[in-house]
Amino acid sequence: MPNNFGRVVQVMVAGMQFDMDKYNLEGNVPFDNDVLPNESEIRIWNLAPETINKIKRNETLMVNAGYKGDVGLILHGFVSAARTVRDGVDRITTINVLDAEDLSKRTIKDIAYKEGTLASYIIKEMAGQIGLQLAQFDLYQDYRYMDGYTATGKATEIIAKVAEDCRTSVYINKGKLYVRNLRRGKDELFKLSADTGLIGTPEWFESDGAQGYNLTSQLQYRITTASVIDLKSDAFIGRLYVRTGSHTFSRTGDFTTEMEAVL
């Protein structure tokens, strides 16, 4: 089991690094299985005014987290907002971070694809149009548009719709595009039990045609969208696939990973 007293968090932005052993840090970093960028919130106490002024919109921000001797990346994104307020004698800077550029305004106008065009070609071209790096690409089926296809509207919505025709999930994680099913791929297997950080009892859920368990563990940077979990608990023993979740960290409060994992 990780040493819960050996917490490590490193926030890196604008050429600066803030470590939890020197700064009071808190944050929440969500992850999910859709193409909308997730927004994380990072809070840092008592930064100097000249330091605060360096944290600007669109700066790259990264967060490493874990325990001494076992630390990894949980966030790679772009600052969307930063503000500082006073709370008594303290000065708290809150930084909002999108895990991908805001792509909502990237629109496509009437790109026509000829008869017989494959979905894989359209998805890759749309990803190139908006500058998203494809981290994984594995379609359940490569749908062929026998009557052709006209792409128009938000690029991310086009990608999502074409992927849906292929019965395949698409999501953005740490600034990269993933086109694959949660249950396929060579994802790292993580064995989760009380001995490896499981907290409390898994809670059964059924929603949107899916079934699985809501799980909480000590913060585990390896767990993210599509992670494979071999769960050993009183409630369930078997394999699950992570769909959504979040990492939460602080010096003395929550230092956890919560996840929704489907069968």
User: For 181-239, what is each residue's pLDDT tens digit?
Assistant: 988 755 678 999 999 999 999 999 998 889 999 999 999 999 999 999 999 999 999 99
Looking at the domain assignment, is residue 163 inside a domain? yes
Mean pLDDT of the chain: 93
CB atoms within 10 A of CB 4: 12
The per-residue pLDDT for 2 is 45
Sign of the four-CA dihedral 62, 67, 68, 72? negative
Residue 230: CB atoms within 10 Å: 14
Q: Provide the β-strand partners of residue 229.
A: 190, 240
**CATH value at residue 164:** 3.55.50
Count up the domains in the chain and report the number.
1
pLDDT single digits (tens) 23-42: 999 999 999 999 888 999 99
**Beta-bridge partners for 136:** 178
Give the Cα separation of 211 and 74 in Å (integer): 26
- Output the pLDDT for position 201: 97
Q: Is residue 228 part of a domain?
A: no
The encoded tokens of residue 147 equal 């009557």
Cα–Cα–Cα angle for 165, 168, 171, rounded to 5 degrees: 115
Please indicate, yes or no, if residue 87 is contained in any of the structural domains.
no
pLDDT in tens, 130-155: 888 899 999 999 999 999 999 999 99
Say if 197 falls within a structural domain: no
Range of the domain at 115: 107-179
Residue 64 lies in a domain: no
Whole-number Å distance between alpha carbons of 135 and 109: 26
Chain centre to alpha carbon of residue 147: 36
In a domain, 159, yes or no: yes
Q: Is this prediction's pTM over 0.85? A: yes
Whether residue 4 has pLDDT greater than 60: no
Q: What is the pLDDT of residue 185?
A: 58
User: Shortest CA distance to 191 belongs to which of 130, 246, 131, 239?
Assistant: 239
Query: What token pair was written down for 21?
Result: 């052993």
Whether residue 250 is contained in a domain is answered as no
Please, where are the H alpha helices in the chain?
49-52, 119-129, 155-165
pLDDT in tens, 70-108: 999 999 999 999 999 999 999 999 999 998 877 767 889
Q: What pLDDT, on the 0 to 100 scale, is given for residue 39?
A: 96
**Is residue 132 a part of any domain in this protein?**
yes
Place of tokens 């800077």: 93
